[in-house]
């Protein structure tokens, strides 16, 4: 079956965190944990993840500079990026399918 993260974008719907969790539970769990942390928690794993994320991000989606005080903004940015990182490919599929099926029918 096609992941909901894919078909929702294909059908002009907005994907949510639950759609990302269906294909990437580790990132969603990490973001939930990060958003709910209290100050004083060991940050080694967070720094590793953040460094990895910053190294892999697209040029057009610069994240906020990572800091403990803006972790909520960082979490929202990463979530938004992950929810829409496949949009260009999905839009290409939609254009291709649109040659066979009327595009407005995707929203049914």
pLDDT of residue 15: 96
pLDDT of residue 78: 86
23, containing H or E segment: helix 17-23
pTM: 0.74
pLDDT of residue 90: 94
pLDDT of residue 62: 62
Integer CA distances (angstroms), 106 to 14, 98, 99, in order: 14, 9, 12
- For the chain, residues with pLDDT lower than 50 are 58-59
């Amino acid at each position: 079956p096609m992941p909901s993260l894919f078909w929702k974008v294909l059908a002009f719907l907005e994907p949510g965190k639950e759609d990302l969790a269906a294909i990437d539970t580790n990132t969603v769990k990490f973001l939930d944990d990060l958003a709910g942390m209290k100050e004083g928690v060991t940050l080694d794993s967070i720094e590793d993840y953040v460094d990895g994320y910053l190294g892999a991000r697209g040029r057009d989606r610069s994240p906020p500079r990572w800091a403990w005080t803006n972790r909520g903004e960082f979490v929202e940015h990463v979530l938004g990026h992950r929810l829409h990182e496949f949009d260009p490919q999905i839009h290409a599929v939609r254009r291709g399918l649109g040659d066979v099926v009327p595009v407005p029918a995707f929203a049914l």
